[in-house]
Amino acid sequence: MPKAEKHLIKLNQRAFDKIYEHIEELRNDPYNPRPNADIKKLRGFKSPPMYRLRIGKQRLEYFVDESDKTIYIADAFMRSGDSDYR
């Protein structure tokens, strides 16, 4: 089972529903940020370009297959704030 799938299965229902709602919104526009969903293009990935979706402390890394507009979630994880900006 992929790491992203394992992470999403372990979430409580409320957190999962929130992330699922944002994943559904990616269908309309997977490239531009919107309220409560910060999207950033990740550096170092040329083909296909990777993006990061931030929802609170949760992060999803994904890429879009341009030929059929399919969104693939490559990684999902929770960002801990303990070691940031020390």
For residue 59, give its domain range.
3-78
Measured between alpha carbons, how far is 13 from 39 in angstroms, rounded to an integer?
23
Would 84 be classed as within a structural domain? no
Whole-number CA gyration radius for the chain:
13
Would 85 be classed as within a structural domain? no
What total number of domains does the chain contain? 1
76 contacts: CB under 8 Å, gap ≥ 6 = 3, 4, 5, 7, 8, 19, 58, 59, 60, 61
Residue 42: CATH number of its domain? 3.30.2310.20
Would 83 be classed as within a structural domain? no
Measured between alpha carbons, how far is 69 from 53 in angstroms, rounded to an integer?
17
Range of 1-5, 58-62, 65-69 with top mean pLDDT: 58-62
Residue whose token pair is 């799938």: 5
**What is the identity of the amino acid at 71?**
I
Sorting pLDDT into bands at 50, 70 and 90, what band is 73? very high
Would 86 be classed as within a structural domain? no
Is residue 76 over pLDDT 80?
Answer: yes
